[in-house]
Amino acid sequence: MKETLVLNMGPQHPATHGVLRLVLELEGEVILNLEPVIGYLHTGFEKEMETRTYHQNIVFPPRIEYLATFIEEQAYVLAVEKLLGITAPKRAEVIRLILAELSRIASHLVYLGTAAIDLNVTSLLMYCFRDREEILDIFEMVSGQRMMHGYFRIGGLQWDLPQGFAERVQRFLDDFPRRLDEYETLLTDNLIWRKRTEGVAVLSAEDAIRYGCTGPVLRGSGVSYDVRKAFPYGGYADYEFDVPVGSNGDAFDRYRVRMDEMRQSRRIILQALRGLPEGPILVDDRKVALPPRRELVRSMEAVIHQFKLVSEGIHPPAGEVYASVESPRGEKGYYIVSDGSNRPVRVRVRSASFNNLQALPVMLRRGTVADVVVAIASIDIVLGDVDR
């Protein structure tokens, strides 16, 4: 019998993208077994959300997956709206979609930067964060916060867009393709990058489905499944975009899928900006959304509605719904069980990273230690999303 070495990696390790711990069993440099140990960032979101009203719960989603904040808010808000049987006004829907796609670009930029720095391409992290800062500036302009926005409301938005929003987004998008091309030149045509990612961390389409993988991990393996296309939500059906798909299921294909997704996101935002309708940004349902400020001084009824909503919250009908969105990591779903009271009985967060991470041992079967870092980066996990 050959001698094996058990190696512990994490939970504090610069390349695990958070507090992930891996226990590796090695024979020389070859991985025989690998077990991810998770839970180091378990925050108890699901329990916490059972104790707050539906509106208060908007606080939590962006903190679960903190790289794609607006997409998280969108997922939760859409689930509650489905439970209530309402849809947000068209303008609110389009604004949500623009912000969600900007979030996707911001998140993929963090992926790109961290994946690059794991292979020692230090400058790319700086470039990616420079671009991300521009998106965060737009977010701050809209919501007042760089990351944890709390801007979406059940049935619409908190307030309308600020002046100059469209021009700002347009300016960013005009310059963005040039920068993406620059990054692609740095990486795609780089011999070291290709040698380190091509044929590394391969996951077959069959395995990806058996492990419940979604998002770029599944699409990198050649399965064209995107929630935006399969179960269109939030107005995605109105826009033209392609779903990039890889073929080999290796780290390089996942990288290519994400790069192409950024371009597709840009395409969606440009269409949405062009067709941004005028109109209300909050549903006109006093049982769901707060009455406008000007009504409060004139109408006693409005004051009562305001009081009831603030002190008690929304009372959705009893039932259970599942609504999901396509987050940068895959299918992100909220399963909400309501008993008709003002607080949910259960909020289940279907996390994409959790399932994707589970496939890590399959990707790294008979791989080498050096590939572990590449594989983790290529799944693009967010530990807050894994552990919740």
Partner 1 sequence: MTRPEDVLVQRLGEAVVEQVRFRDDLTLIVPREHMLRALEIAGSTGFRLLTDLTAVDRHPAQPRFDVIYMLTSVEQHARIRFMVHLAADQTMPSATSLWPGANWLEREVFDLFGIRFDGHPDLRRILMPDDWEGHPLRKDYPLVEEPVEFKGHTPKVPSEIIPKSKPKLL
Partner 2 sequence: MAVTGPPERGPSTTLGAGTIVSRAGSPTEATEADLRALESNILTTTVGRVVSWARKNSLWPAQFGLACCAIEMIATAQARFDIARFGSEAFRASPRQADLMIVSGRVSQKMAPVVKHIYEQMLEPKWVIAMGDCASCGGVFNNYALVQGVDKLIPVDVYVAGCPPRPEALLYGFLKLQELIAEPAHRRRR
Say how many C-beta atoms besides its own lie within 10 A of residue 334's C-beta.
Answer: 26
Number of C-beta neighbours around residue 51 at 10 A: 10
Reading the block at residue 16, the tokens are 């695990």
Count of helices and strands (H, E) across the chain: 17, 8
Rule CB under 8 A: choose which of 19, 31, 80, 95 binds partner 2: 19
Distance CA 98, CA 92 (A): 10
Question: Site map for partner 2, 349-388, x if CB under 8 A?
Answer: ----------------------------------xx--x-
DSSP state of 289: S
**Closest separation in Å from C-beta 28 to partner 2:** 24
Work out what residue 4 binds among partner 2, partner 1, none; the CB cut-off runs from 5 to 8 Å by kind.
Answer: none
* DSSP state letters, 79-96: HHHHHHT----HHHHHHH
In the structure encoding, which two tokens stand for residue 229, read together?
């296309």
Shortest reach from residue 107's CB to partner 2, in Å: 10
CA separation, residue 97 to residues 32, 104, 215, 232 (Å): 44, 10, 18, 12
Looking at residues 49 to 68 of the shown chain, list those that interact with partner 1 (rule: CB under 8 A): 51-53, 56
Residues 6+ apart with CB under 8 A from 48: 60
The correct pick among 22, 67, 75, 83 for binding partner 1 (CB under 8 A) is: 83
End-to-end CA distance of the chain: 41
What are the backbone angles phi and psi of residue 120, rounded to the nearest 5°? 70, 25
Among 30, 42, 171, 175, binds partner 1 (CB under 8 A): 42
92 binds, among partner 2, partner 1, none (CB under 5 to 8 A by kind): none
Asked whether position 97 contacts partner 1 by CB under 8 A, the answer is: no
Sites of contact with partner 1 (CB under 8 A): 38-39, 42, 44, 46-48, 51-53, 56, 82-83, 85, 209-214, 223, 225, 230-231, 311-313, 315, 317-322, 324, 331, 333, 335, 337, 339-343, 345-346, 348, 350, 354-355, 358-359, 387-388
Sites of contact with partner 2 (CB under 8 A): 11-14, 18-19, 39-44, 47-48, 59-60, 63, 66-67, 110, 125-126, 129-130, 132-133, 146-148, 383-384, 387
